[in-house]
Amino acid sequence: MDILYDEAIDGALAPFEKADVLSDLQHSVPTLRLLHREEDLRPFECDGLAAYRVLPMLVAMPDTLDEVETLLKRCHALGVPVVTRGAGTGLSGGALPLERGVLLVMSRFQHIINIDPDTRTARLQPGVRNLAISEAAAPYGLYYAPDPSSQIACSIGGNVAENAGGVHCLKYGLTVNNVMRVDVLTIEGEHMTLGAEALDAPGFDLLALFNGSEGMLGVITEITVKLLVLPEVAKVLMASFDNVEKAGKAVGDIIAAGIIPGGLEMMDKLAIQAAEDFVHAGYPVDAEAILLCELDGVLADVDDDCDTVRGVLENAGATDIRLARNAAERAVFWSGRKNAFPAVGRISPDYYCMDGTIPRRELPRVLNGIAELSRESGLRVANVFHAGDGNMHPLILFDANREGELALAEDVGGKILELCVAAGGSITGEHGVGREKINQMCSQFDADEITLFHALKAAFDPQRLLNPGKNIPTLARCAEFGAMHVHNNELAHPELPRF
């Protein structure tokens, strides 16, 4: 995967000189904080996908929407690409800068405009951190449900742009299911409100289209999210299995019993051992797989469901079932899962994180396929899943310093995603396409579908100035179709749990 924007494959850019753009912007938006010296630009060269680094031409850090509006109008007039960045925690290189582009950093818009407990909504500027929403809502007994792993740092604007997920998606949905309204600025600098504080709005559902559009259609300037009432109680069961397939089948059995858990997570032996070694959560290191099942809601119902799930797990052949006795033990159970990525990072110099989704029924077959690929390649693979919604995060372990191993890891990763697509799944469940999976889009969609995506884009940004080279590949790129590359030995925010 070539990180750099390639005009021959990704599309031609307008001719302009950095000095001219800088002086134009300094003149037209005098109050705008603009960075242009290499040492100032360096901290912005990557997002959470730290293996991909490109120095932006300029970094703009606006404080007001007027500045954003004028900046966009000038860039539109000059033909200068704009890459929007939130907190920079994304894992697919969606905010990877362009050498010939402005990086628009929205992180200074951090104001929680309003929390309304009666309508159960929060109005937010795009730079508000995900977790800060739930913290501000907590005094009212409310919270914001989507909880991507980086929630202490990632911002709501980026969450909308990526349609971020988390461990509670099966029951509570992704970002798109929890956002009521967004205000956006178009590349032409026009203000537009999509969605409403009411439960619907007239016209096309452009709100849904903007969720997960990866900064390709407009710049998000304000978000209204719905807040949920905090569940009365949450309980976690941990079940051990001596066989991965049995664990996979147990996942389906829980759903078949009519229960939608708040979270339903699975880890295989290598992931269990790495996590236990790292955080000492009391995981059974001799088990082939564990399931973590969180049930939340009204106390009486949760107790009933716990009994049901326990019975299902026993019938599915669980060798051990433990119920967290209190909130502290519940947090310990979760800590291993939430620290699985850094835990795997401790046992291998490099790892390569995948984000494929599959129908749950395909889990045993895809797992066997992954094990086969691991055997063939000699590379270890640790498996961590959002098992309830079929979102897999296989972590391929390798050492980039060994000749050819990176290429081998890329090859295995590509084949895993092909397994997911062949099983009726998707190349990305929650991390987004960004720059990272731009080539894999060609295996999930055919030329007609990609052409339609370009038509959607052209409706909003015919000059292709917003985040060019991301999300949707050109047909020229698909013709060139290369192997995938998700080398990721160094996360930009190692302090964040990744799950």
Partner 1 sequence: MTDSPTTLPDRDIADRLCEQVSDAFSEHTPLRIVGGNTRAFYGRPVDAAPLHVAEHRGIVHYDPVELVVTARAGTPLEALEAVLDDNHQMLGFEPPRFGPQSTVGGAVATGLAGPRRPWAGATRDFVLGTRVITQHGRSLRFGGEVMKNVAGYDMSRLITGAQGTLGVLADVSFKVLPKPPASYSLRLALSLDDALVRMTELGRRPLPITAAAWHDGELLLRLEGGRSSVATTRQELGGEPLDPSFWQALRDLRHDFFTLTPGQTLWRLSLPANTAPLALDESHSQMLYDWAGCQRFLKTTLDGAALRRACQAVGGHATCYTPTDQGGSDAPFTPLDPVVEKYHRRLKDQLDTRHIFNPGRLYAAF
Please, which of residues 225-284 interact with partner 1 by CB under 8 A? 229-232, 252-253, 255-256, 258-260
Task: Out of 100, 246, 393, 437, name the contact with partner 1 by CB under 8 A.
Answer: 437
- Would you count residue 426 as binding partner 1 (CB under 8 A)? yes
From the CB of 255, what's the least distance to partner 1, in Å? 6
Cα dist from 262 to 60, 296, 370, 387, 412, whole Å? 40, 6, 27, 12, 32
From the CB of 204, what's the least distance to partner 1, in Å? 5
From the CB of 57, what's the least distance to partner 1, in Å? 27
Cα dist from 287 to 239, 251, 272, 341, 374, whole Å? 10, 16, 8, 19, 19
Give the residue ranges of DSSP H helices in 348-497. Answer: 363-377, 405-422, 441-444, 447-460, 475-480
From the CB of 288, what's the least distance to partner 1, in Å? 22
Residues 395-424 vs partner 1: string with x where CB under 8 A?
-----------------------------x
From the CB of 386, what's the least distance to partner 1, in Å? 8
- Would you count residue 495 as binding partner 1 (CB under 8 A)? no
- Would you count residue 150 as binding partner 1 (CB under 8 A)? no
From the CB of 471, what's the least distance to partner 1, in Å? 8
| Nearest residue (CB) to partner 1, 175 versus 335 | 175
| Nearest residue (CB) to partner 1, 77 versus 300 | 300
* SS3 assignment, position 182: strand
| Nearest residue (CB) to partner 1, 29 versus 433 | 433
- Would you count residue 140 as binding partner 1 (CB under 8 A)? yes
| Nearest residue (CB) to partner 1, 224 versus 374 | 224
| Strand ranges (E), 87-245 | 102-105, 112-116, 121-124, 142-143, 179-185, 191-195, 219-226, 228-229, 233-241
- 3-state helix, strand, coil split of the chain in percent (to 5) is 40, 20, 40
d(CA 418, CA 439): 12
Binders of partner 1: how many residues, by CB under 8 A?
Answer: 96
Instruction: Select the span of 98-106, 126-134, 164-172, 397-405 touching partner 1 (CB under 8 A).
Output: 164-172
DSSP code at position 108: T
Q: Which two tokens stand for residue 161?
A: 């742009």
| Nearest residue (CB) to partner 1, 245 versus 253 | 253
| Nearest residue (CB) to partner 1, 47 versus 350 | 47
d(CA 308, CA 117): 34
Helix axes 65-78, 18-28, angle to 10 degrees: 140
From the CB of 128, what's the least distance to partner 1, in Å? 21
Task: Out of 117, 282, 317, 482, name the contact with partner 1 by CB under 8 A.
Answer: 117
| Nearest residue (CB) to partner 1, 12 versus 199 | 199
Residues numbered 451 to 470 that lie near partner 1 (CB under 8 A) are 452-453, 455-460
Task: Out of 33, 42, 111, 191, name the contact with partner 1 by CB under 8 A.
Answer: 191
Half-sphere exposure of residue 215: CA atoms within 13 angstroms, side-chain side:
32
Q: Which of 174, 171, 172 is nearest to 162 (CA)?
A: 174
Q: Which two tokens stand for residue 78?
A: 């000059």
d(CA 433, CA 354): 11
Residues numbered 350 to 389 that lie near partner 1 (CB under 8 A) are 357-361, 386, 388-389
From the CB of 427, what's the least distance to partner 1, in Å? 5
Cα dist from 398 to 12, 107, 350, 406, 415, whole Å? 36, 34, 5, 7, 16
- Would you count residue 199 as binding partner 1 (CB under 8 A)? yes
